[in-house]
Amino acid sequence: MWPTRWPPNAFKPGITFELIGAVVATGLLVFLLGIFAFRLLHHNLPTSVSAKPSLDTALFIQLVMELLIVILLLIYLPRASGFSLRELGVTWPGANAIAYGILGAMMMIFVVDASGAIIDSLTHATHPQDVLKAFEAARRPVTIIFFAVFAIIIAPIAEELVFRVFLFNLGLRYAGFWIGAASSSIIFGIAHGGIFVALPLALGGIVLCGVYYSSRNSISSMISHALFNAVTVFGVLASTHGTHA
């Protein structure tokens, strides 16, 4: 099984907490600077303009944050894990890895949608992600395209590096597959919203861990993640924006 023979210095507490601290600090810094810049700009806008950050603004802040975190992970992960990026599966996929990615997307769609439907049925309410609610209200074509590109390309790359290549491997190093998959997937779910959103996405995260672990390629789980997001985005476009055409 892969990987089982971790180097003795893999994910030592010092370098691991240093990496976690760098990721958290980068996220907070970019978020605060983004809000500050928006507020500063808003002082020069007409009073009729809403002071609430737009979806464009939120996506831009998220884009900068995730790109910086990706850079941090690509620099830190070889030092923290004791493996090269290639050994961690950050490498171009072959046919088998692509097949794993496609199969994983189908499994993730089924698991997330089925568990979400059960939760909605039990609670007698729907629980979409907040960001999808904002996307449903978007009207500008530029915003819609920006959101789609971000959700289908940028987010899967950044989130797979964070939740699978880093956090899942960290759990795998010390506690094995299921603890690593469960812990990283719970954090993955919580990062996307409240408990009703987090539970289905946590199950989807376990599927992504399985894809990454079985294929030995992080691009496989990125493909699964991207295809899942694509189905979600185009589903919203078809059901909401299509009705306004």
Q: What are phi and psi of 131, to 5 degrees?
A: -70, -30
Element (H, E) at 241: none
Q: How many domains does the chain have?
A: 1
What digits encode the pLDDT tens for the residues 94-141?
999 999 999 999 999 999 999 999 998 988 887 777 777 767 766 778
Decide if 194 is inside a domain.
Answer: yes
The domain containing residue 152 runs over which residues?
13-244
Decide if 1 is inside a domain.
Answer: no
Residue 45 · residue 38 · CB < 8 Å:
no
Decide if 2 is inside a domain.
Answer: no
pLDDT > 90? residue 244: no
Decide if 4 is inside a domain.
Answer: no
What digits encode the pLDDT tens for the residues 52-95?
557 778 888 889 999 999 999 999 999 999 999 999 999 999 99
In 3D space, the residue among 241, 67, 74 whose CA is nearest the CA of residue 150 turns out to be: 67
Region 166-180: mean pLDDT is 94
What digits encode the pLDDT tens for the residues 179-232?
999 999 999 999 988 888 899 999 999 999 999 999 999 999 999 999 999 999
pTM, two decimal places: 0.89
